[in-house]
Amino acid sequence: MAITIEHLYHVYQQGSPFQSDALEDIDFTIENGDLLALIGHTGSGKSTLAQHLNGLLKPTSGRVLVDGQNINAKEADRKALRQRVGLLFQYAEYQLFEETVYKDIAFGPKNQGLTGKELDHRVRRAFARVHLPQEVLEKSPFELSGGQMRRVALAGVVAMEPEVLVLDEPIAGLDPKGRDELMEVISDLHRGGVTIVLISHNMDDVARIATRVAVLDKGRLAMLGTPREIFSRGDELEAMGLDVPQTVQLCRKLRAGGVDMPDCLTNEEVCAAILAARGRTAHA
């Protein structure tokens, strides 16, 4: 399912002395099957944009189209359209509240009107997709580690079976293993056909798993392209207060030192490029 954002503007506190433009003329399409990374400095408008994708915020002007239908139009079945886009907030584990993990995951689908076997299947299917041990299902969410709680919250969104998942800094605050486990869950969901919008500050992750990257700067869409295209524009990213992946930083340093190097996105690529450079010097 594709989401098209058409000339979207969002103004906070319009008409008050505090009026400020949060988003200005955002215009691009999130394609079906994308794993789109949304990056930008704090305050660049990433979370504001994310909240437009499932109708939590309404554009001041412009439109958000889900498969060609305006999610804010009066006539459209807004509820159904919005259910096709799931949103995981930052630190989503703070929103868990039920007695058991099972009940917490069931909360959304139950509100959708599911009951009995259908509801049970839905909960178990969502639970299976976040890679948690089976015994967790009957535990209280509050007995779990932070990383496990985060995945339970994600299962709650997955249980609505959205076609697009918007994840707002899903790995913030997790330990390294917890980060890897969650990134693996996200990759799996993507492979399973879910379109993903990932807000992240971790450029190494973005370089590794994103199919495309959208860069926001002061409420505007500054760049859109593949990770390779985006991270080859390191100077511009740094001017926006953004990092580039560590491998790219290293390649830039090596180029400054006179070595002919492309911008590498993985350790394997760095290794191959260094060996190639060595080969050239040996022959010269």
Partner 1 sequence: MEEAILQAKNVSYAYEEGEGLAISDINLSFRRGEMTAILGHNGSGKSTLAKLLNGLYIPTAGTVTVCGMDTALDDNTWEIRKKAGMVFQNPDNQLVASIVRDDVAFGLENIGVPTEEMPARIEAALRAVGMLDFIDRAPHMLSGGQKQRIAIAGILAMQPQALILDEATAMLDPKGREEVFSIVEKLNREQGITVVWITHFMEEAARCGRVVVMDGGHIVMDGEPQEVFTRAEDMRRMRLDVPPMVALGDLLRSRGMKISRDAMDIDSMAREVLKWL
Q: Which is nearer to partner 1, 72 or 90 (CB)?
A: 90
Beta strand 20-30 with 3-12: parallel, antiparallel or unpaired?
antiparallel
Question: Is residue 281 at the binding interface for partner 1, with CB under 8 A as the rule?
Answer: yes
CA pseudo-torsion sign 224, 227, 231, 237: positive
Q: Please report, as residue ranges, which positions from 196 to 225 form the binding site for partner 1 (by CB under 8 A).
A: 201, 203-204
Q: Which is nearer to partner 1, 56 or 172 (CB)?
A: 172
Among 12, 125, 131, 178, binds partner 1 (CB under 8 A): 178
CA distance 47 to 26: 14
HSE-up of 171 (CA within 13 Å, CB side)?
21
Question: Is residue 236 at the binding interface for partner 1, with CB under 8 A as the rule?
Answer: no
**Strands (DSSP E) found in 68-200:** 69-70, 85-88, 164-168, 195-199
**Strands (DSSP E) found in the chain:** 3-12, 20-30, 35-40, 61-66, 69-70, 85-88, 164-168, 195-199, 212-217, 220-225
CB of 257 to partner 1, least distance (A): 5
CA distance 200 to 171: 8
CB of 149 to partner 1, least distance (A): 10
Question: Is residue 95 at the binding interface for partner 1, with CB under 8 A as the rule?
Answer: no
CB of 266 to partner 1, least distance (A): 10
220 burial via Cβ count (<10 Å: 0-12, 13-18, 19+) = middle
Question: Is residue 242 at the binding interface for partner 1, with CB under 8 A as the rule?
Answer: yes
Per-residue x/- track, 42-81, partner 1 (CB under 8 A): xx--------------------------------------
Among 57, 64, 174, 213, binds partner 1 (CB under 8 A): 174
Q: Are 80 and 69 in contact (CB under 8 A)?
A: no
**Segment lying near partner 1 (by CB under 8 A), choices 12-20, 98-106, 190-198, 265-273:** 265-273
Tokens 């807000």 belong to residue: 199
Q: How far is CA 284 from CA 256, 278, 281, in A?
A: 20, 10, 5
Q: Which is nearer to partner 1, 49 or 203 (CB)?
A: 203
The candidate with the shortest Cα–Cα distance to 267, out of 218, 204, 222, is: 204
Q: How far apart are the first and last CA of the chain?
A: 53
Question: Is residue 276 at the binding interface for partner 1, with CB under 8 A as the rule?
Answer: no
Q: Please report, as residue ranges, which positions from 103 to 162 form the binding site for partner 1 (by CB under 8 A).
A: 145-147
CB of 205 to partner 1, least distance (A): 11
**Segment lying near partner 1 (by CB under 8 A), choices 9-17, 37-45, 151-159, 205-213:** 37-45
Among 9, 11, 41, 131, binds partner 1 (CB under 8 A): 41
Residues 6+ apart with CB under 8 A from 134: none
Question: Which chain residues interact with partner 1 by CB under 8 A?
Answer: 41-43, 145-147, 172-178, 180, 201, 203-204, 241-243, 246-247, 249-250, 253-254, 257, 259, 267-268, 270-271, 274-275, 277-278, 281
